[in-house]
Structure 1
Amino acid sequence: MLRKMLMMFLVFILFMTSQVGAAKRGIVEPEVVYTYEEMMKDLSLLSVKNKDLIEVISIGKSTFGKEIPALHLGKGKKQVLFVGSHHGREWLTTSLIMKMIETYADAYNKEANVGHYNPKILDEVSIWFVPMLNPDGVEIQQKGLDSVPLGHQQLLMEMNENDLNFKRWKANGIGIDLNRQYPAGWKAINGDTPYASFHYYKGTAPLEAVEVKALTRFILKENPLISVAYHSSGRVIYWSYKNDKRVVKRDRAIAKKLTNLTRYKLAKPPKTAVGGGLTDWFITYYKRPAFTIEIGYDVNETSLPLKVFPEEWKRNKAVGLLIADQANKLKNIELN
């Protein structure tokens, strides 16, 4: 009898320990290969847990019909935007964004700061997150040939130079580089890759890719004050693309705050760089601040290793609230 009671007690202790561990881990588990399915499940759980703070919508569908979700966090009328996984192999940016969402929601509910930033800024400025703009590309990079319809597999092989290893895959499902699809400097992008490929193909026209078309339509509707695109790799922040002279000082000042927080290098694109990126278009169209943040140390044509996540999270965990705080301080944003 005593042995039975002891066994029951040990089972109870193990159960409670596992529950405490699960609660401590939270919903999002970023230190695993983070898939589209995992993201969709976590978005649903986060919205149920934070009904008064979070709303999840679809901004459109990918080439192969996957919903592209956007999550609205906060109660403020002003808005900023964060976008992850333009490129298939850069899915750790999705992990980072999802961890950011959960952390900010928990901090808001507990009235606890994130770094030096008070999450109550979300009462003034809401954050829109598009965690994975390119779900087809992410699936191709993670799962390879079997992730696409059978009738598309031969073409996929050709776009990947007949290599069965898809770890370098950047493009969307039909070989278009989504960050070379925006209507700012698109014509100046060279033709080094003049056909559909695992990387660098700009398409036949800007906004050709359905994913980019969906995002630009969403941006024009929601009118965010600041835009941030997460990429990998290099630990560098780009902030400048033909910025209006009237706002260069303003935009550089925010960029410096970002580099002070993340300890990433602040950089301008080289003179030989061309446009076509999300932040290039946002800066020139709105004359508002936009930043491309490259997480992780340099890796060569592959995804970042999972082991870098704790360090990149440490550097970036307060970035969303910093951007919201800066958006709340912006003046003279409607420039002609």
Structure 2
Amino acid sequence: MSFIFTIRAGPARLAARAPQLAVRAFHQSAPKNSFFTPRTASLAFRASTKNSSNGILSRLQGASRGYHAQYDSVYVDPAARRAELLRKLLIGGAIFGGTLVTANVVFNRETREDGGLPPYERSYLNRTFLHTGLGVGIIGLTAYQMVQSGFVYRIMVTNPWIVGIGGLALSIGSMVATRAIEPENYIPKYACWAAFNATQAALIAPLMTIAPPALLARAGLYTVAMMGSISFVGATAKQDKYLYIGGPLLAGAAIVAVSGFAPLVLPATAVRTLAFTENLWLYGGLALFGGFTLYDVQKVLYHARAAQRGVIKEDPINESISLELDFLNIFIRMVQILMMQQNRRK
């Protein structure tokens, strides 16, 4: 007779249950034996108990060896882990510094002649960046809670078209409502702004279930480095120097959007065309939203001067929405590029 056990309890509990399992199996198989006697029953009981105990012990030893082998393969030295973390931080700092220097050399050869931002423009820009960072934090925490609660999985098993179109409609509606509310009505304005951030979190939450946390952290670090350096260039450049690029950026956004819909239209056999459109979506979109960051920072400063003259009202929330969208678009493409590089290494 043979036994198959699913080991879900500890060794002591299995050892205590071994005789009971053997007796139960023996009584189930005893009526089938026509030569049953008390002596043969005793011998069969001892043999079955011995075989069951040996089988359990061998399985427990095998499970123990497997556990130790798995633990040894997963275990990482804390010193090596700290060294790897320090190396990644140094690489991120080098990328940030190199991007800053390169952007200044290429785009910012002519800086402000007065030596810096006026106090009012600096204050308005700082408040805008404060709301941008707060919005990105709300999006990240909300997306994390959606993943932990299982809300993302329930979204993914439903119709993706309904979810995508509905989420896009809610995102656009909440953004339009936030921009339309006057800054004095701060309670409904902040409520609509929070709803906008929640819809953005729902749209990027499925990405957090696919990419590993370390890759998401690297993509966030690279996004902060890229946007930080470009924002510095836009803040220190001459007034209205890059506002002219708004029209070309809109045209580029239309081209990138069309390339994103190419897999839905082109056949699967057009491999080269699909590869080209994918590169255009990733790398072209990365450069495009870097340009949008430069344009949006200059637009914030332009609105600051207009608000100081009383032409428009101060509204850092509206200004932060554009920078949040720039951050999310750059972050998503960073994650996709890093995942492609990781798949090529495998």
Higher percent of residues as helix? 2
Higher relative contact order (CA 8 A, sep 6+): 2
Greater C-alpha Rg: 2
TM range (shorter): under 0.3
Higher percent of residues as strand? 1
What's the TM-score, normalizing by structure 1? 0.26
What's the TM-score, normalizing by structure 2? 0.25
